[in-house]
A and B are shown apart, each in its own frame.
Chain A
């Protein structure tokens, strides 16, 4: 932790690191566009592009909570689903009232989805942030499950009079005959008219990166990290702990909401169970494997691990098994003391050799 703070002091190095992240995204975009125009992109991979963007945003936003703010959240998919469903409802309602162009629908949906997820973040953050450590983790898990459960009972339709909601069944919505049902309880959103594009995903990632990196390097970011490193010392230095924890948590929820909209408007049907505990865990795996607090790592881990099950297709039934084994081995290899020491020694012997050559 101490090392990290010293690193932050060196502004040059840090802004360089930030630029690298933008660079990675731009290169990723350029490579994909090139591959696409050359016809080298398989259909399966092309279908993964928007989910990859959504998961990168999810990983970045969760990293803000886990890495920068130092709180373990196990319910991040809940915010994603709040964003996805509000985005789908807004986009569907706009389509119904005659807005057919995708760009304005997507933009409005992202804004509304992000705001709704932000509101959910505030509501959840008030009780959650009073707790510490593993208790906080279990409560975020509980909230994720509650959100999923409520969405499972939600029916939404739109007609000439506006939106209709019901928590029992479709008949209770009192909708006019010519209305359309947008969300159908456990079946989720059906007949979604897709509006997400790969370019929109890339723009969103860059926007999210911009917000996170500027926040981390600002007074707010330093306050958040001070709380992470030593809450009591930070409090004694006059930092308002609740306020700064809340800022990190709610901004993270807002970004997750935006990612949810991007993800939701990429499919024609989206069920609430898509955003369950396993999705939250998946995103947490991206963050931890990429390196806690390391945004570049999050981007790479999210992209690689979303594509990995696709690449492991040749193992067929065994692919998730292989995935699990790879996950365990990577965690052991990167966290075991002995193996780490071994790596350090190897790295040291390399640098020593190089140094020797220079001297000669």
Chain B
């Protein structure tokens, strides 16, 4: 029971980190960035190359992977999304899907479809054994990393100038621009942060499930997106809460109900929550103006 809870929280923390990327981008650019899951996959491959081919130690590999993903995120934003800043949301959505296809197929060409065995990058600390429960090093690192990220992001958005600019842009783009905020730079920064987080998520995800293929990111991406919506999209604590709830629920469903139906149960939970609270658990209810 406790074992499932711990592995659920661990999986949920990964979802939460991915969901943070979704939620930040959604809050600011009002777009569903379906390519986010594939940035995770690129992050995983970058860390894999750094660790296996170049033989770099784990922390360096993680930093390298973060750099790659941050650059990738900025590039994607500049090349694909920026020209569509004022287009309909559906056009941006399809472009994001195009980017997702592009990344997947690029990975397919570079790394082929053979699964790569990802080296465990979290085993520099020992596992903890309490009674008959073993908490693996990956789990510990995952939970610690997500807590640190959560605190850092909260401080960043509430205390720094850039963070405040981000919140202003997400509230009202036009008014923010009139106040002298560089909207384009703010959006680019958001993408950079989101993609950097995706790299961390990629490393953590692959450390827990060490089978790396070009489609590694799509299903966790969709689930993390679900988590972001569950917690109320656009809200940072909401993404964290949604991610962990989703992870725990998934592990419990796998353990006690059915492995095959666990995804269906997770998605059904989302639907039930949205019926009761149409804007997610911690989402703001927007008053409609007539």
> A61-105, CB under 8 A of B: which get 1 and which 0?
000001000001000000000000000000000000000000000
| A229 contacts the other chain (CB 8 A) | no
Q: Kindly state the separation between the CA atoms of A153 and B267 in the bound complex, as whole angstroms.
A: 16
Give B24 Cβ to nearest chain A Cβ, in Å.
15
Q: Which residues of B contact A137 (CB under 8 A)?
A: 32
| A135 contacts the other chain (CB 8 A) | yes
Q: Is A324 in contact with B275, judged by CB distance below 8 angstroms?
A: no
Given contacts A138-B226, A232-B290, A321-B109, contact A332 B101 (CB under 8 A): no
Task: Pick from B83-91, B148-156, B199-207 the stretch touching chain A.
Answer: B83-91
Give B82 Cβ to nearest chain A Cβ, in Å.
10
- Give chain A interface residues in 138-152, CB to chain B under 8 Å: 138-139, 141-143, 145-146, 149-150, 152
Q: Is B102 in contact with A325, judged by CB distance below 8 angstroms?
A: yes
Q: Give which listed residue, B88, B93, B102, B267, contacts A146 with CB less than 8 A.
A: B267
Q: Is A332 in contact with B95, judged by CB distance below 8 angstroms?
A: yes
Q: Kindly state the separation between the CA atoms of A288 and B95 in the bound complex, as whole angstroms.
A: 10
Q: Is A335 in contact with B88, judged by CB distance below 8 angstroms?
A: yes
Least CB separation from B230: chain A residue: A138
Task: Pick from A126-134, A213-221, A351-359 the stretch touching chain B.
Answer: A126-134
Q: Kindly state the separation between the CA atoms of A232 and B287 in the bound complex, as whole angstroms.
A: 13
Q: Kindly state the separation between the CA atoms of A150 and B261 in the bound complex, as whole angstroms.
A: 7
| A360 contacts the other chain (CB 8 A) | no
Q: Which residues of A contact B117 (CB under 8 A)?
A: none
- Give chain B interface residues in 189-236, CB to chain A under 8 Å: 218, 222, 225-226, 229, 233
| B274 contacts the other chain (CB 8 A) | yes
| B174 contacts the other chain (CB 8 A) | no
Q: Give which listed residue, B84, B99, B278, contacts A324 with CB less than 8 A.
A: B99
Q: Which residues of A contact B271 (CB under 8 A)?
A: 127, 139, 142-143
Q: Kindly state the separation between the CA atoms of A346 and B106 in the bound complex, as whole angstroms.
A: 36
Q: Is A138 in contact with B225, judged by CB distance below 8 angstroms?
A: yes
Q: Is B94 in contact with A72, judged by CB distance below 8 angstroms?
A: no
Give B219 Cβ to nearest chain A Cβ, in Å.
9
> B119-130, CB under 8 A of A: which get 1 and which 0?
000000000000
Q: Kindly state the separation between the CA atoms of A339 and B83 in the bound complex, as whole angstroms.
A: 10
Give B15 Cβ to nearest chain A Cβ, in Å.
14
Q: Is A134 in contact with B270, judged by CB distance below 8 angstroms?
A: no
Q: Give which listed residue, A321, A327, A337, contacts B94 with CB less than 8 A.
A: A327
Task: Pick from A49-57, A251-259, A277-285 the stretch touching chain B.
Answer: A277-285
Give A283 Cβ to nearest chain B Cβ, in Å.
12
Q: Kindly state the separation between the CA atoms of A332 and B98 in the bound complex, as whole angstroms.
A: 11
Q: Is B90 in contact with A131, judged by CB distance below 8 angstroms?
A: no
Q: Is B88 in contact with A328, judged by CB distance below 8 angstroms?
A: no
Give B111 Cβ to nearest chain A Cβ, in Å.
12
Listed from nearest, the 4 A-B pairs whose CB atoms lie closest are: A149-B264, A142-B267, A324-B101, A324-B102
Residues on B close to A: CB < 8 A?
26, 32, 80, 83-84, 86-91, 93-95, 97-99, 101-102, 104-106, 108-109, 218, 222, 225-226, 229, 233, 258, 260-261, 263-264, 267-268, 270-271, 274-275, 278-280, 288, 290
Knowing that A153-B258, A324-B99, A324-B105 touch, tell me 18 more A-B residue pairs with CB under 8 angstroms. A135-B229, A138-B270, A142-B226, A145-B264, A146-B264, A146-B267, A150-B261, A153-B261, A232-B288, A277-B218, A289-B94, A292-B88, A318-B109, A320-B105, A328-B95, A332-B95, A334-B91, A335-B88
Residues on A close to B: CB < 8 A?
66, 72, 127, 130-132, 134-135, 137-139, 141-143, 145-146, 149-150, 152-153, 186, 232, 277, 281, 284-285, 288-289, 292, 317-318, 320-321, 323-325, 327-328, 331-332, 334-337, 339
